[in-house]
Structure 1
């Protein structure tokens, strides 16, 4: 399939991708705010609720994409690419929600600098995912193709940054944390947060494949 073919009358896959990308960023921003105000219960719950709202909104968009796929004969890119992309995007918000739930369920007593750093990297990854998604409808323009590939590279670098932060955090945790229960809690949280950037990298890899196949 190539870009430029007529899109279905009752919807636009690229618009749905963009809407989903906006929910990813909104969820990530709420998640970082939740970390920032973790010790203020009212604000923490407010931002947890915003993460949940973003996840539910994104689920509705994912369902709409699947519905549209069943109704559409001609799609702007390969059907399997559409299916894989929207599902991988949805995984990002699922992990953001899971991470916020884990922090609440485990009753973490303090937020470390490494949790904050991993949250900030996750947000940057999500913002780059959203940017890459906005470029998909214009891949017939060489400069847009180049920008999309560059954005995917930036996501890869951010994922590597998250790996380094997590390795350092784990090393520090096992050397310095004397409370076994807190150690177990923080280890799980570090792993959840690092997985967010992994999911963003999965989306970047899919976008890179779409770019190379359709540009």
Structure 2
């Protein structure tokens, strides 16, 4: 006998209940926000996160490509533009380059990915493949880590300004631009997943997708923590 689907409220609660798996509770993240990281460790985090940032427009484009609903495609396409920018030198990737400059990362070293760990590469490539190959609703559900991210990004800016006064102020542009956008995106995505995932199987697949995404983010921090900083 097939299981009954969760109610909308119970489904939302099950997704939100994954918050303890988010990477804000990782030991490295706690040290990062407590002011206990060296400049080299912060540069390692920025360099490895750069590799993650570079696939976001592509994974969002995969969701657009796999989604049969034009109203969703139009809304989701905004995420591609946010990261790639409407023009060269604009958008989330450009802002991340500014952050790399602000923490003293060599631009050439960032772009040739010499500091990207194999653990980060494996996790990020796996996430991109997941979004390209799984049903679009699962890929959208995996993006629901954005439910947990606005508060963390705001706390990061405050903590870094307090503990790492050597970071140049213009490096915070990414977080300042992203926080209001991700708040709106999170609510939209939650409503979308709650509406589109109607059967018990679809709901469990969405919960598994979000669980997988938390594993991806945790694996990135495991790798960064192991790296112990970069020049």
Please indicate the TM-score interval, normalised by the length of the shorter structure. Answer: 0.3 to 0.5
Structure with the largest fraction of helix:
1
TM-score, normalised via structure 2 length: 0.35
Query: Which one has more relative contact order, counting CA pairs under 8 Å at least 6 apart?
Result: 2
TM-score, normalised via structure 1 length: 0.37
